[in-house]
Every structure is written in C-alpha cells, then in structure tokens.
C-alpha cells in the first residue's frame, strides 16, 4: 500500500493485508503495556498538578507527543487521526502530495474520544499485570499507553478506507442506502462474520505466540504475557464494532462529496 497512489490504498486486498499487519503492532504494544500496573492515577483528570493544563497525565503526555509528531507531518497522512486535532503545530517539512483517496470530510470522522474511553476502561484492566500504582513508572505507563492508543486509533480509523473502497465498488447501491439513512442495511453490507471469526482466531494465536518466550516452550510451561482469549474478546467487543462505527459515519456522509 502506497499512500501517494490512491488505487493501492483502495485495493481491498491491500487494506486487508495492512489490517492483519496492524494486529501484530497492537499485540506487541499490549504486551509492552502488560509489564506495568494498571496505574489509574495516570488516567484521572487533574490527579497530578500540571502547570497550565487541565486533564489527565496521559492527556498531557499524548498532547506533547502529538505536538511533536505534527511538526513532522504525522497528521497530514490520511491514515493518522489525532486525539487533539485543534492543538497541532505546523510542520517545517515540505507538504506531501497525497492523492485524494478519502472524501473531503474524512478528517472530521474522529472517534478517538471513544477509543480513549474503551482503552482506559476495558483494555488497561485486562492487560495490566496487576492492579495498583507504582509511582516511579507513570511515565513508562503513559508511554506504552500512547503506543497502544495510536495503534488502535490507526486500526479503527482504517475503516474509512474500507468504506470508501466499498462505496466506489458499489456506488449506486450505497447511494440508495445513504439517501434512505438505512444504517442497518449499511452495517449488514460491511459485516462479514466469517472474516471476523478468522480475525479473532488469528489474534488468539498471535497473542499466544508473541507473548510467550519461545525458548521456554519445551522446558517449562510458560504463560503468555497477555491473555490470548482476552485480546480476541477486546477485538470482538470493541475494535471491530468501533471500526464499523467509523465506516458507517463515513458512509452516511458520503454524498456530501460528489466525487
């Protein structure tokens, strides 16, 4: 997939391949996060006194990271979605000529707030090695959190490419559904239960395989650093449904853009 060439980005095989590859990154990031305690202080608004800032410790660190990354054009890329879109900085680098792939309102489809809530409330308790706080690790915790959140956000907002690809390959059919605001039919058209089942099976094997030191396989009975079934459940209950939310939000507005 080459983001400077639209046809490669809308090829469903390429999209599928990219989504499968992203599972690896997400599992790696969750494994890294599993080294640390749940650390709820990191997520509690204003638990730490941060000068000139209203929000959680994680919010503060994530904002700093986005400010830095925006300066190297991260959020010009159509597959990146910022958590703080109003606070980004300009880049000193020349602009990239991305071919127009998504509809003009694509950047407005941003469900990072929902992703943040799901991450804090559902993922952290499942993945953290223990409940509680080690005050000396809050920076490391938030650092891992940011990697997880960015990987999840990219995966979930990739639904925009799926939606655009489906729209273009069946323009008349979708135009009708969108005009009728038929959310149920749109959702049915983007749901493939057999594929979803495969994703979940694959996640179990990945969480098992990447989370277990392979050199211990025969000598001991090692447990994966993350619970494979739990990772698959998080995908089933949140990642996949949130991706569909993105796809549906995107499709419902698709007629705003005549192209």
48 versus 173: smaller Cβ distance to a second copy? 48
Active site residue 197: no
Active site residue 225: no
13 versus 215: smaller Cβ distance to a second copy? 215
Q: Which two tokens stand for residue 22?
A: 């992203």
Which residues, including other chains, have CB under 8 Å from residue 187's CB and lie 6 or more apart? 244, 248
Stretch that binds a second copy, among 118-126, 157-165, 211-219, 245-253 (CB under 8 A): 211-219
β partners of residue 37: 130
Q: Which of 8, 14, 41, 71 binds a second copy (CB under 8 A)?
A: 71
Q: Which of 14, 35, 41, 107 binds a second copy (CB under 8 A)?
A: 35
Comparing C-alpha atoms, which of 195, 117, 118 is closest to residue 162? Answer: 195
In 3-state terms, what secondary structure has residue 37? Answer: strand
Scanning the structure block, which residue is given the tokens 């749940």?
Answer: 38
Active site residue 166: yes
Q: What is the DSSP string of 116-184?
A: HHHIIIIIHHHHSSBSS--GGGHHHHHHHHHHHHHHHHHHHHTHHHHHHHHHHHTHHHHHHHHHTT-HH
Q: Exactly one of 4, 170, 192, 205 is catalytic; name it.
A: 192
Angle at which helix 159-169 crosses helix 240-252, to 10 degrees, equals: 50
Q: Which two tokens stand for residue 17?
A: 């391949």
**48 is a contact residue toward a second copy (CB under 8 A):** yes
Q: Which of 28, 189, 245, 249 binds a second copy (CB under 8 A)?
A: 28
Q: Which of 44, 143, 187, 249 binds a second copy (CB under 8 A)?
A: 143
Q: Which of 12, 45, 47, 72 binds a second copy (CB under 8 A)?
A: 72
Catalytic residues: 16, 155, 166, 192, 196, 243, 247
Residues that bind a second copy (CB under 8 A): 2-4, 20-21, 24-25, 28, 31-32, 35, 48-51, 57, 61, 64-65, 68-69, 71-74, 77, 92-93, 96, 98, 134-136, 138-140, 142-143, 201-202, 205-206, 208-210, 212-215
């Amino acid at each position: 997939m080459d983001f400077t060439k639209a046809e490669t980005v809308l090829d469903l095989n390429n999209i599928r391949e990219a989504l499968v590859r992203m599972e690896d990154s997400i599992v790696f990031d969750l494994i890294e996060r599993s080294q640390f305690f749940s650390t709820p202080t990191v997520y509690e608004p204003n638990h730490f006194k941060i000068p000139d800032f209203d929000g959680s410790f994680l919010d503060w660190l994530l904002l700093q990271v986005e400010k830095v990354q925006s300066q190297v054009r991260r959020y010009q890329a159509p597959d990146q979605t910022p958590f703080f879109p109003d606070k980004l900085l300009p880049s000193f680098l020349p602009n990239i000529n991305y071919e127009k792939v998504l509809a003009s309102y694509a950047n407005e489809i941003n469900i990072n707030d929902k992703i943040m809530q799901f991450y804090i409330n559902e993922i952290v308790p499942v993945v953290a090695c223990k409940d509680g706080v080690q005050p000396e690790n809050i920076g490391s915790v938030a650092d891992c959190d940011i990697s997880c959140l960015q990987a999840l956000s990219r995966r979930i907002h990739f639904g925009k490419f799926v939606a655009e690809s489906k729209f273009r390959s069946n323009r008349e059919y979708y135009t009708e559904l969108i005009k009728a605001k038929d959310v149920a039919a749109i959702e049915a058209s983007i749901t493939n239960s057999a594929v979803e089942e495969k994703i979940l099976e694959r996640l179990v094997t990945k969480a098992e395989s990447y989370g277990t030191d392979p050199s211990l396989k025969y000598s001991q009975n090692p447990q994966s650093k993350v619970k494979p079934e739990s990772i698959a459940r998080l995908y089933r209950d949140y990642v996949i449904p949130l991706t569909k939310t993105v796809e549906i939000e995107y499709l419902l507005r698709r007629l705003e853009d005549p192209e």
